[in-house]
Amino acid sequence: MQKQSAILFTDGSSRGNPGPGGWGTILACGDRVRELGGRENKTTNNRMELMAIVSGLRAVSRDVSAVTIYTDSTYAMKGATQWMKGWQRTHWQTKAGTPVSNRDIWEQMAEVVVGKKVTWTVIAGHAGIPGNERVDVIATAYADDQAIGLYDGPANEYSVDIEKITPDMDTRLKKDRSKQKAYSYLSLVNKAAHRHKTWASCHERVSGTKAAKFRKAVSLDDELAILKEWGVTSDEVHDVDEE
């Protein structure tokens, strides 16, 4: 019988470090998809990332020879591909002579990868990759001790597009916007658009006003795109001058 290949999407979450945490995994193999999840009352994010991977690998059937793992944890990937063999040689001690964190899970990792060709792919978290977004939902639901339905059924009936592994640029832009320097701040109140130099000025105009819109623009092109979305031309924008 020809051996199959499998895909795992994995993620972990913790509310505090340590704190209550959860993990989520999507296992896709052949024409089947199965979601997995779990929880620990006092844990760390790194531990939950590892639990998601180990639990997924344990669920892979014996006739699967190759597994591709999609994770947003560089810690998990580097630990498995660069550090783990060295830890085994030093009896799970770091170079500094201290015990390896999460040794119990790393020992399980060393066991479950035996006999499998594992390909590790680090993907961007919260970037609009459907598989990653779904395992994040599962992990956070378990961390928050909330009920969540887990899918187990035919791949062609699964609602998550696990074939899409490239970041959604609109999602990445929204995520990165808060870190970028403002070109301007825009407000729209009663169909009148204003351009502000500071967030304080923009906030003062929209605060307490129903149906107001506001947005930080990070470039001239971004500003024009926002105004177009609002149905406003640049000529209709009033500049607010601050001293």
- Is 65 within a domain? yes
Do 61 and 103 sit in the same domain of this protein? yes
Mean pLDDT lowest among 13-27, 98-112, 147-161, 209-223: 209-223
Instruction: Please tell me whether residues 132 and 222 are part of one structural domain.
Output: no
Residues 96 and 212 in one domain: no
Residues of the domain holding 195: 180-239
Q: What are phi and psi of 89, to 5 degrees?
A: -65, -30
Q: Count of alpha carbons within 13 Å of 149, Cβ hemisphere only?
A: 4
Which domain CATH number covers 111?
3.30.420.10
Examine residue 174 and state whether it is found in any structural domain, yes or no. Answer: no
Selected catalytic residue, list 12, 21, 37, 79: 12
Same domain for 89 and 199: no
User: Are residues 62 and 142 part of one domain?
Assistant: yes
Average pLDDT over residues 174-194: 79
Q: How confident is the model at residue 8 (pLDDT cuts 50, 70, 90)?
A: very high
3-state secondary structure of 134: helix
* Mean pLDDT, residues 196-204 taken together: 86
Is pLDDT above 70 for 174?
no
pLDDT in tens, 10-63: 999 998 878 999 999 999 998 999 999 999 999 999 999 999 999 999 999 888
Residues 142 and 234 grouped into a single domain: no
Percent of the chain with pLDDT over 90: 55
* 45 and 88 fall within a common domain: yes
Q: What angle do CA 173, 44, 143 make, to 5 degrees?
A: 75
Do residues 231 and 141 share a domain? no
- Answer yes or no: 126 catalytic: yes
From the candidates 19, 107, 126, 144, give the one annotated as an active-site residue.
126
Query: Which residue in 24, 40, 56, 72 is the catalytic one?
Result: 72
Q: Six-digit token pair at 141? A: 């639901």
How far is residue 95's CA from residue 97's CA, in Å, rounded to a whole number?
5
Residue 196 lies in a domain: yes
Residue 163 covered by a domain: yes
Ranges assigned E (strand) in the chain: 4-14, 19-29, 32-43, 64-71, 117-122, 152-154, 184-189, 192-196, 213-217, 238-239
Q: Amino acid letter at 58? A: R
**145 catalytic, yes or no?**
no
Judge if pTM exceeds 0.85.
Answer: no
Indicate the residue among 167, 199, 226 that finishes a domain.
167
Q: Is residue 62 part of a domain?
A: yes
Of these residues, 22, 35, 37, 49, which one is catalytic?
A: 49
Q: Determine whether 196 is an active site residue.
A: no
Q: Please check whether residues 113 and 186 belong to one and the same domain.
A: no
The reply to whether 101 and 188 lie within a common domain is no
Number of domains in the chain: 2
**Final residue belonging to a domain, choices 104, 138, 167:** 167
171 pLDDT higher than 60: no
72 is catalytic: yes
pLDDT digits (tens, 9 = 90+) for 66-112: 999 999 899 999 999 999 999 999 999 988 889 999 999 999 999 99
Query: Band of the pLDDT at 1, cuts 50, 70, 90?
Result: very low
Catalytic: 11? Answer: yes
Query: Using 50, 70 and 90 to split pLDDT, how confident is the model at 243?
Result: very low
Respond yes or no: is residue 235 known to be catalytic.
no
Assess if residue 200 is contained within a domain: yes
